[in-house]
Structure 1
Amino acid sequence: MTLKQCEAECLKNCSCMAYSNSDIRKGGSGCLIWFGDLIDIREFTGDAATDIYIRMSASELGLDRKKEEDLDLPLFDLAIVASATNNFSKANMIGKGGFGPVYKGILSTGQEIAVKRLSNNSGQGLQEFKNKAWLLWTEDKALELMDQCLKDSCVESQVLRCIQVGLLCVQKCSADRPTMSSVVFMLGNEEAVLPQPKQPGFFVDSSSDGNGGRCQTENEVTVTRLEAR
Structure 2
Amino acid sequence: MWFGNLIDIRELTSEKPAEDIYIRIHTSERGLNTIQKKKKLVIILVISSFSGILTLGLAIWFQFWKKRRMGTDQESKKENLELPLFDLPTIATATNNFSNTNKIGAGGFGSVYKGNLPEGVAVAVKRLSKNSAQGVQEFKNEAVLIAKLQHKNLVRLLGCCIQGEERILLYEYMPNKSLDYFIFDHNRRALLAWDKRCEIVMGIARGLLYLHQDSRFQIIHRDLKTSNILLDDHLNPKISDFGLARIFGENEMETRTKRIVGTYGYMSPEYVIDGHFSIKSDVFSFGVLLLEIVSGKKNRGFSHPDHHHNLLGHAWLLWEQNKALELMDACLEDSCVASQVLRCIQVGLLCVQNLPADRPAMSSVIFMLGNEGATLPQPKHPGFFTERSSVDTDTMSAKIELHSENAVTISMLKGR
Q: Which has the higher strand share?
A: 1
TM-score when normalising by structure 2: 0.22
Q: Please tell me whether Structure 1 or Structure 2 has the larger radius of gyration of its CA atoms.
A: 2
- The higher-RCO structure (CA 8 Å, 6+ apart) is 2
Q: Which has the higher helix share?
A: 2
